[in-house]
Structure 1
Amino acid sequence: MTDHRARTALFFDSGIGGLSVLREARVLMPDWRFVYVADDAAFPYGAWEEEALRDHITSLFGNLLERYRPALSVIACNTASTLAIDHLRRAYPGETFVGTVPAIKPAAERTRSGLVSVLATPGTVKRQYTRELIRQYGQKCHVRLVGSDNLAAMAETYMRGQMVDEEAVRREISPCFMERDGRRTDIVVLACTHYPFLVNRFRKMAPWPVDWIDTSEAIARRAKTLSDGIGTLPGKPDEADLAVFTSGFPGPELCRLMQGFGLTPTMLQGDQP
């Protein structure tokens, strides 16, 4: 990057799931300012047609990049990353993007039983990008793709401090568990940044113990590595860390949640910064 920008990192997700990545990045990048963008006006992304969603994300980023001038943008959403990150890189050359992809490679390397499941949104499950990862890294094991229509919304509900039906959680994760020739699934990849917030529920509802792979820390480490090579102005900007909502100013529950993550709630449009 030729121009030296302030140390601002933008984190983007369809909702509040990307907070799981931001939480890890805060530890690794303490001298950076963070702007968290929840595209809640468009949530859930799974309801969109692919081309329309790609165009929407690309157009929205034009606004975000101009408004906040981040030195680094993290797409903390598997669906958005697998669908749009290559398009974003072409549309905005010179910008630095960090993507989020299902952790199929480390799962395939770590499994002992050879039975791995990838728990994701339907959009991530059907993406050719995901199947290419399986072809490259998962040929020596059996990888089952499990698309959940409801878990992301359940995580949003849970993060807002509301009750989640544990039996409903059990139904969503039950296809992840396979038994073959005396072997059992031993790894489940959490291929949605919303899911780590429900992982304790997953452990409770699972029929047997498995290793739940959360990619949040790995994404944050990648962001840290790239940030070290970006020309930025010294020191952390004076502006507050922000939580930006595309639907407008959030309600009291979300405000409290964002403040708990050290973020000042605001909205994309209007008079606020």
Structure 2
Amino acid sequence: MSDAAYDDRPLLVLDSGIGGLTVLREARVLMPERRFVYVVDDAAFPYGNWEEPALRERLVDLFGELIAIHDPIACLIACNTASTLALEALRAAYPQMTFVGTVPAIKPAAERTRSGLVSVLATPGTVKRQYTRDLIEQWATKCEVTLVGSVSLAALAETYMRHGSVEESAVSAEIAPCFVEKDGRRTDIVVLACTHYPFVVNRMRKMAPWPVDWLDPAEAIARRALSILPRIASDAPVGRHDDVAVFTSGRADAVTRRLMQGFGLATEGGILPA
């Protein structure tokens, strides 16, 4: 006899591109019984080019449509930009739905640093948002935090994942401001505050002027989702052949489809017109 009722509704994971796959990968390890719907809001990529009110309105409207179509058990926003901008509005618009957001891992960085010099590598939108500065004020007042807004790194990660190579000098230029030397101390932790960035972290390690701890929050985000979802019965079926990738543009090229299939996501039947 099972110890809990099995709820087969999927966990919906959204990002503007492929970055959220880093979170999906960790969520699957922790929740092998779950079904997943991975939403690529490629019609709006990159989020950093949007004005904040317009992007917030888009996300609220989009989630309304996604919730109606897919009936998820919860929604995981695997994107710092979208979370810091729209999480409060989404919870207000859909109070019966559970939303899990992604925010810069500033608290654990402040707890781990030895030099007291921490950098936050993010999109320009995340860097300028008051939410990020409030996290620093709350958790990192004893540290010196450098905010680095990368214009191109998310796109470089997309290129790397689709084509298997990336111009290393371009990666080096994007991460260079993260490395600070002051009074004999050096930056020792870089917070990866965009879910795209872990895909190119090996390139970043290679181009870094000295070793640092690259803080990837994907596992912590997945653990947060696990902690707030209902328990799954011990006899629930394990397998994810029903997992799908949804593209808000209504189209995906062959390379992107192969990438999604490599993550065990079907693309046929998973298209949502923009």
TM-score, normalised with respect to structure 2: 0.93
Equivalent residue of 2:228, what SS?
A: helix
Amino acid at match of 1:39: D
Measure how far apart 1:248 and its partner are: 1.7
Amino acid at match of 1:216: A
Equivalence for 1:116: 118
Gaps of 5+ in 1: none
Measure how far apart 1:240 and its partner are: 1.1
Native 8 Å contact 2:23 2:218 kept in 1: yes
The correspondence of residues 1-273 of structure 1 with structure 2, limited to 5 A, is 6-228=8-230, 235=237, 240-265=242-267, 266-269=270-273
Cα distance in 1 for residues equivalent to 2:152 and 2:146: 18
Amino acid at match of 1:142: E
Aligned-CA RMSD value: 2.0
Cα deviation code 1:144-195 (max 9, x no counterpart)? 0000000000111111024311001000000000000000000000000000
Measure how far apart 1:209 and its partner are: 0.1
| 47-56 or 153-162, which deviates more | 153-162
Measure how far apart 1:6 and its partner are: 2.6
Equivalent residue of 1:209, what SS?
A: coil
Equivalent residue of 1:218, what SS?
A: helix
Measure how far apart 1:237 and its partner are: 9.2
- Cα gap change, 1:209/1:68 in structure 2, threshold over 3 Å: closer, same or farther? same
- After TM superposition, which residue ranges in structure 1, 4 or more long, deviate above 6 angstroms? 236-239
Cα distance in 1 for residues equivalent to 2:55 and 2:231: 31
Equivalent residue of 1:173, what SS?
A: helix
Equivalence for 2:3: none
Equivalent residue of 1:193, what SS?
A: coil
Cα distance in 2 for residues equivalent to 1:175 and 1:269: 39
Cα distance in 2 for residues equivalent to 1:230 and 1:105: 30
- Cα gap change, 1:118/1:178 in structure 2, threshold over 3 Å: closer, same or farther? same
Cα deviation code 1:122-152 (max 9, x no counterpart)? 0000010000000000100100000000000
Native 8 Å contact 1:6 1:237 kept in 2: no
Measure how far apart 1:72 and its partner are: 1.1
- Cα gap change, 1:102/1:53 in structure 2, threshold over 3 Å: closer, same or farther? same
Cα distance in 1 for residues equivalent to 2:94 and 2:241: 25
Cα deviation code 1:57-102 (max 9, x no counterpart)? 0000010000000001100000000000110000001101100000
The sequence identity of aligned pairs, in percent, is 67
Gaps of 5+ in 2: 1-5
- Cα gap change, 1:199/1:251 in structure 2, threshold over 3 Å: closer, same or farther? same
Amino acid at match of 1:179: E
Measure how far apart 1:269 and its partner are: 2.9
Figure out how many residues of one structure are paired with residues of the other and give that number.
267
Measure how far apart 1:249 and its partner are: 2.6
